[in-house]
Amino acid sequence: MDVRLSGRDNAWRVTGATIGRTPPAGETDAETRRLLANTRVSLPEPARADLQAADISDEVVALLNALSQSWRLDVQVLRTGHPRNVFGTDRMSNHTRGRAVDIWAINGTPVIGAPRSLWEPVLKEAARLGSTEVGGPRLPERSTGLPAVFFTNPTHQDHLHLGFEPDKKR
C-alpha cells in the first residue's frame, strides 16, 4: 500500500492511497536472480514479487545490480504499490511499466534530510549508466558531461527515482 500525506496547520491529511497487487511468480533470468540474492539491495516483499513475476525491465535490474557494487540500497518500490500515474498528472508512471525504482536509503541512511554527498553520487552514476529519469531532493551540482536527465520536485525530497523512458534511449 502506498499512502501519501500532506501536512498543514500541524495536522496530517491523506492525499492519496493505492493498494498494489502481488503478482504470481514467473520465470526469472540470471540477472534478476542475482538481484534477488543481492545482500546489498534491500527489497520489500512487493518488489521481490515484481521481480519474481518478471515484471521489471532488464535496465532497472541491471542498474540496481551495478549501483550495489558501490552502495547498499534500500528500495522503496518497483512496480506494485506505486500509483498508476505520475503524481499530479494523467501520464502513466514508468513504475507502472516496470521501468523505474525508488530508493529511500543509501548505505543505511535515509535520503530525506541527508547531505548531498550521500545521494548525489548515486544520481550521477545512474545517469552515467543510462537512466533517463533521475530525480531526487535537488539537482546535482556540476553535472558536466552527463546527460540532461535530472529533475527534482516536492514529491522526490525523501527518495531517489531512477527510471527508463522507453522513448529516450541513449
**Considering the domain boundaries, does residue 20 fall inside one?**
yes
HSE-CB of 2 using CA atoms within 13 angstroms = 20
Residue 122 near residue 106, CB atoms below 8 Å: yes
**Considering the domain boundaries, does residue 168 fall inside one?**
no
Q: What is the pLDDT of residues 32-60, one digit of tens each?
A: 999 999 999 999 999 999 999 998 999 99
Rounded Cα distance between 165 and 39, Å, is 28
Rounded Cα distance between 24 and 71, Å, is 30
Q: Count structural domains, the chain.
A: 1
Q: Which residues are paired to 152 by β-bridges?
A: 136
Q: What is the pLDDT of residues 101-149, one digit of tens each?
A: 999 999 999 999 999 999 999 999 999 999 999 999 999 987 667 778 9
**Considering the domain boundaries, does residue 57 fall inside one?**
yes
**Considering the domain boundaries, does residue 139 fall inside one?**
yes
**Considering the domain boundaries, does residue 169 fall inside one?**
no
**Considering the domain boundaries, does residue 170 fall inside one?**
no
Question: Which CATH number does the domain housing residue 52 bear?
Answer: 3.30.1380
| Helix, strand, coil shares, percent, the chain, to 5 | 25, 25, 50
**Considering the domain boundaries, does residue 115 fall inside one?**
yes
